[in-house]
Structure 1
């Protein structure tokens, strides 16, 4: 357009550099900007039963799963893919899960949201002790 200055090279390069990140949306939260993580889809052996203390929880980052043990010894497991933007939840403080991407927090014993921006609880996964190991069986 006449009378209107053309954008500088720096402005064009800055815009181009930012565009791919914005286009990725939730996947940009994934480690390395790659595909978003996903909870297990088949049976996964997580570890020894004594890794999950009574009244406590254990975070299995490699499988995006948290397992808690109630006072009666029963186990519960939840996906640790944040329901807000699909980021892997990487921190467990007692029984509170913390998502680094946007600060959402969840109860590791119920999957319930403790702090927004997430509004949807974590999905529960079938879990049991089998042959001396904790096993998540999403296909069960």
Structure 2
């Protein structure tokens, strides 16, 4: 089961920009790519570099620490040194507010 938490206002997320938020204690990065809001963990899977400080070109995010690249839409690794995909989160938008879905802890 997924629980949704308020993360940001829709107007705060600009096309091609990275926006760091904390959602129920989890570091999450939001962006807009081709009009679509994407949400993913804000820590690189290599050694936890701050992805919100990285560079986004189209849908490709480059980690600022060691250059690992990810597709922000799917979380897939595009270039190492990272080997593990990013965790992506479902989102929903209600009344111009973005909610991020976190899986319930077991």
TM-score (norm 2): 0.68
> Which residue pairs with 1:115 in the alignment?
79
Alignment check: 8 A CA contact 2:31 2:37 kept:
yes
Give the greater-gyration-radius structure (CA). Answer: 1
**Number of residue pairs aligned between Structure 1 and Structure 2:** 95
1:60 aligns with 2:19: yes
Note the aligned Cα RMSD (angstroms).
Answer: 2.8
Unaligned stretches of 5+ residues in structure 2 = 23-27
Alpha-carbon spacing, 1:135–1:58, altered in 2? closer, same or farther (3 Å): farther
Structure 2 distance, partners of 1:50, 1:87, is: 23
Alignment check: 8 A CA contact 1:97 1:107 kept:
yes
TM-score (norm 1): 0.54
Shift of 1:67: 3.8
Q: Give the number of the structure whose residues are more often strand, by fraction.
A: 2
Among candidates 71, 78, 87, match of residue 40 of structure 2: 78
Structure 2 distance, partners of 1:84, 1:51, is: 26
> Which residue pairs with 1:87 in the alignment?
49
Structure 2 distance, partners of 1:122, 1:59, is: 15
Unaligned stretches of 5+ residues in structure 1 = 1-40
Structure 2 distance, partners of 1:67, 1:84, is: 21
Shift of 1:102: 1.3
Alignment check: 8 A CA contact 1:68 1:108 kept:
no
Shift of 1:127: 0.8
Structure 1 distance, partners of 2:21, 2:39, is: 14
Structure 1 distance, partners of 2:73, 2:64, is: 19
Alpha-carbon spacing, 1:80–1:108, altered in 2? closer, same or farther (3 Å): same
